[in-house]
């Protein structure tokens, strides 16, 4: 999320899903949850950056980037503990 300006947060979960998703159901569950969450917030960030020309988009873009980073780190800590993290403000786009 940070490197891509809030728009490329979905890349890492997709790579994890493609690399290890077929080998481990736990990795697949974590990667799908992260991918769904990051896709939603990447779309919100993209809309924010498009609306940056009217200044309100800057706040939306940075806000979406911060939400994606904070909840991504929290989920990573829970995954390291072996628990499945349930992302808030997420939709089930990928199953």
Q: Give residue 4's pLDDT.
A: 62
User: Taking 70 as the threshold, does the pLDDT of residue 3 lie above it?
Assistant: no
Give the pLDDT confidence of 22-74 residue by residue, as tens digits.
Answer: 888 888 888 888 888 888 888 888 888 788 777 777 788 788 888 888 888 88
In a domain, 88, yes or no: no
Q: How many domains does the chain have?
A: 1
pLDDT range class, residue 83, cuts 50, 70, 90? confident
Q: Give residue 14's pLDDT.
A: 84
> CA 35, 41, 43, 49 torsion: positive or negative?
negative
In contact, 87 and 74? CB cutoff 8 Å: no
- Whole domain around residue 46: which residue ranges? 11-80
pLDDT range class, residue 2, cuts 50, 70, 90? low
In a domain, 2, yes or no: no
């Amino acid at each position: 999320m940070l490197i891509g300006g809030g728009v490329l947060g979905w890349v890492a979960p997709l790579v994890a899903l493609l690399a290890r998703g077929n080998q481990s159901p736990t990795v697949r569950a974590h990667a799908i949850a992260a991918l769904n969450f990051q896709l939603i917030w990447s779309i919100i960030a993209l809309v924010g950056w498009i609306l940056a020309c009217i200044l309100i988009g800057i706040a939306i873009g940075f806000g979406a980037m911060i939400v994606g980073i904070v909840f991504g780190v929290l989920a990573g800590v829970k995954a390291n503990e072996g628990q499945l993290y349930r992302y808030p403000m997420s939709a089930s786009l990928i199953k």
